[in-house]
Amino acid sequence: MGLYQDNFTGLSELERLAAMAHDPVRVHEIGTDQWPLTMMACGLMASNDEEKLEENFDIYDIFAAKTTVAARKSSLIQLSRFITGRKGEGWKSLIPYASNEPDEALSRKAATYVVTLAQPGPTEPLAGVQELVNRLVRDEFAPTTLLDAVLSLADMRVLPLLQPLFELPAERLEELLDELETTPNRLSCTFVLRVLEAHPSLAQEAADALCRMAPLSPVILDLALPIPTWAFEKPTPQPLHGWTPAEYFARMLPELQPALDADQLQEVREAFKA
């Protein structure tokens, strides 16, 4: 990663670049080719400093404006490898990549790294999931890609951590459902059902979300994921259960039937080929 001593400042290269990025004047001196390493430096230097970490969200906006998606993807992948090699140390440096990246696919990828590489917390093993859920609750502008990544885990251990989301205002949940792009699995389908239970007025949005999910996988899975992935020699997901879309529709039907009108129910039925 180019760690070397700077003869002029006495700081390592990473420290020097991070200092420049946090300086409102010198930040504009950073060249385009320096930005991928600079963003990594900012994250790693601030990963244990909540105040500096928050500053990195604004710095990421500059990074995104100065670079291509390909350059930011390369930066993200290098950062994830660095964190993996250090057993999750510095994992919070990934959060600005997830929260402020304008390219949805790259944001989703970064969020997936957050939930799979985060070091377990003192009270919560799935600390990365908890972090992203907290951001969705605190920040009304947090992107739905964070939720996409969480639900794509397909691991039901995640469900209790989603409880704060069900307590959000209906308007915010409507937005999340409308923008949801995740695979159909037991966790993601259950999330939609729990939203529908908490907010019956979102019946159409819930039906639409299920219809968008349904064609994305021929099997509805319930998985046990090896998290954090760096703690396992071969981090292979273990399928616990699997259903065809039609079989899973039958499982959901007792909850869907009283909540959806006839047209909405038929749309979901057709999407799940039931």
Claim to verify: residue 151 and residue 99 sit in the same structural domain: no
Asked whether residue 80 is assigned to any structural domain, the reply reads: yes
Asked whether residue 124 is assigned to any structural domain, the reply reads: no
Claim to verify: residue 169 and residue 48 sit in the same structural domain: no
Name 214's Cβ contacts closer than 8 Å, sequence gap at least 6. 184, 245, 268, 271, 272, 273
Claim to verify: residue 51 and residue 174 sit in the same structural domain: no
pLDDT tens string for the chain (274 positions)?
Answer: 333 333 334 358 888 899 999 999 999 999 999 999 999 999 888 776 777 788 999 999 999 999 999 999 999 999 999 999 999 999 999 999 999 999 999 999 999 999 999 999 999 999 999 999 999 999 999 999 999 999 999 999 999 999 999 999 999 999 999 999 999 999 999 999 999 999 999 999 999 999 999 999 999 999 999 999 999 988 899 999 999 999 999 999 999 999 999 999 999 999 999 8
Task: Check residue 4 and give its pLDDT.
Answer: 32
- pTM of the shown model: 0.92
Task: Check residue 13 and give its pLDDT.
Answer: 83
Asked whether residue 109 is assigned to any structural domain, the reply reads: yes
- Per the structure, the complete domain to which residue 250 belongs is given by 129-274
Among candidate residues 217, 161, 153, 215, the one with its CA nearest the CA of residue 188? 153
Claim to verify: residue 25 and residue 144 sit in the same structural domain: no
Residue 79, CA distances (Å) to 76, 191, 227 in order: 5, 31, 18
Among candidate residues 13, 233, 246, 231, the one with its CA nearest the CA of residue 125? 231
Neighbours of 135 (CB within 10 A): 18
Show which of 89, 119, 149 is a domain's final residue: 119
Task: Check residue 10 and give its pLDDT.
Answer: 38
Claim to verify: residue 104 and residue 143 sit in the same structural domain: no
Dist CA 212 CA 184 (whole Å): 9
Claim to verify: residue 268 and residue 139 sit in the same structural domain: yes
Claim to verify: residue 267 and residue 159 sit in the same structural domain: yes
Claim to verify: residue 134 and residue 267 sit in the same structural domain: yes
Task: Check residue 254 and give its pLDDT.
Answer: 98
Structure tokens at 101: 């990246």
Claim to verify: residue 102 and residue 213 sit in the same structural domain: no
Task: Check residue 5 and give its pLDDT.
Answer: 37
Show which of 76, 98, 119 is a domain's final residue: 119
Number of domains comprising the chain: 2
Residue 51, CA distances (Å) to 43, 47, 57, 146 in order: 12, 10, 11, 21
Show which of 119, 148, 172 is a domain's final residue: 119
Task: Check residue 11 and give its pLDDT.
Answer: 53
